[in-house]
Amino acid sequence: MKVISEFRCPIICSLTFTILTYLSLNFSRRYLRQNVQSSCVLLWALRLGAYLFYRILKMKKDARFNRIRDSPSKLFGVWMMQGIWIIVTLLPTLCVNQKRVDKKLTTTDYLGWSLWLFGFLFEVIADGQKYAFKTNPAHKGKFINSGLWSISRHPNYFGEICAWTGLYISSSHMLQGNERLCALSPVFITLMISFLSGIPLLERIAMKQFGGNSAYRTYRSHVPVLIPFISFSKI
């Protein structure tokens, strides 16, 4: 039953992204820009949902979920924050999809979609590398420091930030008035990942598991926490 309960979070999160994006696209004019923008979100959401579902199915647990499962107040807080995260994250795409007047595609569109593609692939590769590492019995009790994880301690999160920043950039020249508040999307995601629900939690778990390992301390001191090759803070 615990495994079944852990499916709910990734599945519902992915489904919410998918449903909201599909509905907004369904009521749009279906311009090329709207189709591409929405397809990026749908591909990201479906890939993430499938990956998390498969990972939990194989590993039977999610350490982050274990910390909140038995606390109603924490679980409620996570669900509420997840809802806010989804809405704020989708703001640029939702705004683009409600446009009734289209513009010619510009360099801004291609730049944003290129950044999304880079971030999406970066995240997919990083997740794949970590999953392959953790499911290899020879790596039991070890930490990953190869592949993209050799240049960032959280390359999957770096990819995710790039992907959503790209979708904001591609939509930015379509936004007017209060719609410019869509800039909150990449800012909110970056702050959430860097200071609240992402990196800090995983860093604490890693320190608890590997803090006594000199190799991990060396890895931690030499590899940037988020942005590859750039170390300007320690979390």
CB 56 within 8 Å of CB 10: yes
Give me the pLDDT at residue 13, please. Answer: 82
Q: Is the pTM of this model over 0.75?
A: yes
Give me the pLDDT at residue 5, please. Answer: 40
Give me the pLDDT at residue 69, please. Answer: 57
Q: What angle do CA 11, 12, 15 make, to 5 degrees?
A: 85
Which residues, given as ranges, of the chain have pLDDT below 70? Answer: 1-10, 59-79, 232-235
CA separation, residue 2 to residues 61, 66, 68 (Å): 8, 9, 12
CA separation, residue 50 to residues 26, 46, 86, 142, 214 (Å): 23, 6, 17, 26, 35
Structure tokens at 127: 């997740």
